[in-house]
Amino acid sequence: MNLEKSSFQKGDKVKIIIDKVDPDMHYHGKKGKIIDISFDDAASVTGNSEDNFMFKVELESGKVPDIHFRRNDLKKVN
């Protein structure tokens, strides 16, 4: 059982913040809500357990991009 806690939770409203050189830059600035959280072992590379979390976001348009976002790609909004 994984007892780690993410800084984001399902249902959180977020804004996507993508680096300008990222191929998924077209999602930058879009808003949505987190609909699923999964995890991997990225912390084994980065040393930060929060990097294990991957977030699936439903955009305000209703579209769900076929990618997962990391914590650094998201900012909570009200």
**CATH class label, 13-76:** mainly beta
Mean pLDDT of 3-16: 84
Q: What pLDDT is attached to residue 78?
A: 83
Q: Is the pLDDT of residue 2 over 50?
A: no
Q: What pLDDT is attached to residue 6?
A: 67
What pTM value is reported for the model?
Answer: 0.84
CB under 8 Å to 32, separation ≥6 — which residues?
13, 14, 16, 57, 58, 59, 60
Q: Is the pLDDT of residue 1 over 50?
A: no
pLDDT tens-digit readout, 19-73: 888 888 999 999 999 999 999 999 899 998 888 999 999 999 999 999 999 999 9
